[in-house]
Chains A and B, each alone.
Chain A
C-alpha cells in the first residue's frame, strides 16, 4: 500500500469516479447477462469482479463501485469480497500473469528453483511487474496438475513439466511478443481477455476450445497401460522399492518405448 501518497488524515477517501458513460453502457449489457444467470443477483458478484478486471486489468475502486451499483450492495461489501480472493488484482499489473507453483510437490520437484531463477531473470520479486508492463510474477498454490510437475501457469493456462531454462525461454518469448502456446489450453490471450472468460463469456476465438488435445502423457498413462501399451521406463524389470518378492521377468524388455 503506497501509504505515503494517499495520506488523508481525518478525511475518508472520496467515492471513486464512475466509469465513463460509453464504458458503462458497454459493461451494463454484459453485467445484465451475468446477473441473469443466477436466481439471486448477489451470486453475480464474483463474475462481475472478473468482468471489471477484464476492463481494467485489475479491480479498481471504480470497478468496485460499479459492481456495488449493479447489485445494490455497498462498496464496503464488495471490497470485503474482492480482497478475499487471490485472483483479483488490486493494482495494475502485467499483460501476462506468470504463476509458478511452489506448493510442496512442485517446489520439491524444482518449482522453488524455477521461481528463484525467474525472479532473478526478470529482476522482479513476488507479486511484482516488469517495468515494461508485460509480465507479473507470482508464486501460486497447487493448481491441480501435480502429475505434470513442476507447473507454471500463464494467464491461467497450463505450462507443464517446466524447468528453469524452459521457464526463462517462456517469459522471454512473452516479452518478445512471440506466439506462445501452453501444453494444455489455448494460445495465449491477454490477462484482460482471460478475465472475460472467467466472467462467464465463452472464448470466441475459432478453434480455441479444441486446442492442445485431451491431455499429455500423464493424463493418458493409466489408459495406455490398461490397453496393453508400455510406458517409458517400465520395461526391464521393476524399480519398485522393496518388492515383496522377486517378480518373474516375463514382461519383456520394452525399455524406452515412447507411448
Chain B
C-alpha cells in the first residue's frame, strides 16, 4: 500500500486554485477553466444538464448525501410558478469548516454552479443564505457576484442565452437551526428560523410556496467541474455509490489541521498518515466523521472508508466530513456536555422533545461532569436522549442524541469514573494547544462552562434558570 503518498491520495479540484494569486477574483478563476462548465451547460438542454449531474452521481455534501441531480429533477416543470435555487451557506455544524474557506478562496465556483443549476431547474432568482458571523466571506461574495454581473454571467440574457438570472446574497443573523433547509426557507422569508412540516417538500412548496431546490455550497460548487470534465472523470474518483471528490476538514489534536480534498472513501488513517498524524506524543481517543451530530468513532474506526456507505455501515454518518480529532487528554464527558449545551442553546423551541429534552440533558451532564452525578444518571441520560431521537420535529434533535448515545457506547467507563470518583479525572489545561510547549497553566483553575444559563439567553424560553451544578441537584 502506498497510502502515504499524498499526491496519489489527494485530488484537489475545488481547492486547486487556492494557492494562486487572488483566487477569489474572476480573472484567476477564468484562467483556471472557470466558467467553461457554464458555457457547456448553456449549450445543453436543461433536462440534459439534470441528467448529467444525476448520472455523475453527485450527492449532497451538506450532510444527508441526497443525490443532487435527483433533487433538481423533483422540480415540476411547466407549472407556471417561479422556481428558486437557495444555497445553504449557513455552515454551523460543530466541527464543520469547509464551505467557509471554500467561499473565502473560491467564491466563483459556487456562482458558476448556481448559474448552471438555475439553468437546469429554470430558475431566474437564486439566493445564497450565508451565516452572518463570517463577514470576510460575505465581503468576497458581494464582490464576486458583482464581478459576475459585470461579466454578463448574471442579469438579463446570460451570455446571450436568453436566460435571465439574479443572485441575492443574504446574510443570516446567528441561528444554527437555519442550516435545516425548511428553517432556512422560513428565515429567508423573514421569519424565525423554525423547521416546517414535510410534506410538502421544498421541491413542491419551498420559498414563497414555490418549487425550490436547497443545496449545500460544496454540492453546487462541484457542478462546474462535472460539466467541464464530464461524468466519467467524476466517477473515476470515489466509489460506485459515492463517486467524486470532497473536502475533508481535519481539526483538533492533529499535527496539521486543515482542508484535505480527496476522493470519497479515504480513511482517517490515510489522512493522518500523510498529514503528520495526531499531535506529537499523544494518541487518538475519539473523533467525529462529520460534525458533532454524527455518532463519534474511536481508534477502532481508523480504517472505515469515509464515504456515505462506509461510515453508515460503521454506525455513524458521513455528515459534513468534519473530522474532529481528540486525543487522550480530552474528557469525553466534557466534550459531550459542551456539544449538548450547544444543541440546547440552538434548539428553536418548536417541538417539545428537543426543547425540553436538550435542557434536561444539559442539567444532567453538567452535574456528572462536575462530579455531582448520582446513580441512575446514565440511564436517565440515555432515556432522555432516546425520547429526543426520532421523536423531534427535525434532525437537530437526532443530532443532539448522537454524541450521548455514542459516547455512552464507547466510553461508559469514563462516565462511571466521574460518578465513582465524584470529580472529573482530567486536567483541561493538558488538552490545550499550548499544553507542554510553554509550561503555562491557567491562573484561574478548573475552567467551568462559560455559560451559566444556556437555554434562553436569546429570549425564546422564559425559564432561563441559574443552575449551578454544585448547589442544586434538580433531578436527585
- Using a CB–CB cutoff of 8 Å, the interface residues on chain A facing chain B are 37-40, 42-47, 49-50, 71, 80-81, 83-88, 90, 99-100, 102-105, 107-110, 112-113, 115-117, 120, 126-127, 139-150, 153, 155-158, 161, 163-164, 182, 184-186, 194, 197-200, 202-203, 208-210, 212, 214-215, 217-228, 231-234, 238-244, 247, 251
Contact = CB atoms under 8 A, between A and B. Distances in A.
Given A220-B19, A234-B276, A185 B136 contact: yes
A223 B12 CA distance: 6
A222 B15 contact: yes
Interface in B371-387: none
B139 A186 contact: yes
B433 A214 contact: no
A46 B170 contact: yes
B326 interface: yes
B433 A149 contact: yes
* 5 nearest A-B pairs in the assembled complex, by CB-CB distance: A221-B258, A218-B258, A45-B190, A239-B277, A85-B173
Contacts of B428: 108, 112-113
Interface of B: 4, 6-7, 10-12, 15-16, 18-20, 22-25, 82, 91-97, 99-101, 104-105, 125, 131-136, 138-140, 142-143, 146, 168-176, 187-193, 208, 248-253, 255-262, 269, 272-280, 283-284, 292, 299, 302-303, 322, 324, 326, 330, 334-335, 338-339, 342, 345-346, 348, 428-429, 431-434, 440, 442-444, 447, 450-452, 457-460
12 contacts: A90-B459, A108-B334, A127-B457, A142-B94, A144-B91, A146-B94, A197-B142, A218-B257, A234-B255, A239-B276, A241-B283, A243-B273
Contact of A147 (B92, B168, B257): B257
Contacts of B330: 108
A247 B99 CA distance: 34
A139 B97 CA distance: 18
Contact of A212 (B125, B136, B429): B136
A214 B18 contact: yes
B172 A46 contact: yes
Given A39-B82, A147-B97, A219-B258, A113 B444 contact: yes
A47 B260 CA distance: 34
A127 B189 CA distance: 29
B139 A203 contact: yes
Pick from A44, A107, A117 the residue with the most CB of B within 10 Å: A107
B458 A84 contact: yes
Contacts of A194: 135
Given A143-B134, A163-B434, A241-B277, 11 more contacts: A87-B132, A87-B172, A105-B95, A126-B451, A158-B136, A221-B256, A221-B257, A222-B258, A240-B272, A242-B284, A242-B302
